[in-house]
């Protein structure tokens, strides 16, 4: 994985444009958004983050997805 560019910041942490190499069998490079969470988050905040990620995963499409 290679972080290309910072896209923004929210209460959970930073969001970055990233590239993954050999992530999918059918292509060598996959573009995606990567969210790095703050290490200082409380357990409650971590649960909120995971809930947000579950909602965002429901909106997965061919060009944008969350893992």
Per DSSP, the three-state class of 61 is coil
Cα separation, 67 vs 54, whole angstroms:
10
- 32 inside domain: yes
Residue 64 within a domain:
no
Confidence category of residue 60, pLDDT binned at 50, 70, 90 = low
Of 9, 51, 5, nearest to 32 (Cα)? 5
Check residue 66 and give its pLDDT: 47
Confidence of residue 65 (pLDDT cuts 50, 70, 90): very low
In a domain, 16, yes or no: yes
How many angstroms separate the CA atoms of 32 and 25, rounded?
A: 16
Long-range contacts of 20-25 (CB under 8 A, 24+ apart): none
Q: What is the mean pLDDT of residues 7-24?
A: 85
Residue 16 bridge partners (DSSP): 6, 34
| Band of residue 62 on the pLDDT scale cut at 50, 70, 90 | low
Query: Which pLDDT tens digit goes with each residue over 16-50?
Result: 999 988 777 777 888 888 888 888 889 999 999 89
Instruction: Please report whether residue 47 resides in a domain.
Output: yes
């Amino acid at each position: 994985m290679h972080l290309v560019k910072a896209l923004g910041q929210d209460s959970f942490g930073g969001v970055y444009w990233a590239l993954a190499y050999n992530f999918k069998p059918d292509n060598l490079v996959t573009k995606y958004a990567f969210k790095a969470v703050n290490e200082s988050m409380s357990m409650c905040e971590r649960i909120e983050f995971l809930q947000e990620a579950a909602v965002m995963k429901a909106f997965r499409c061919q060009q944008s997805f969350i893992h």
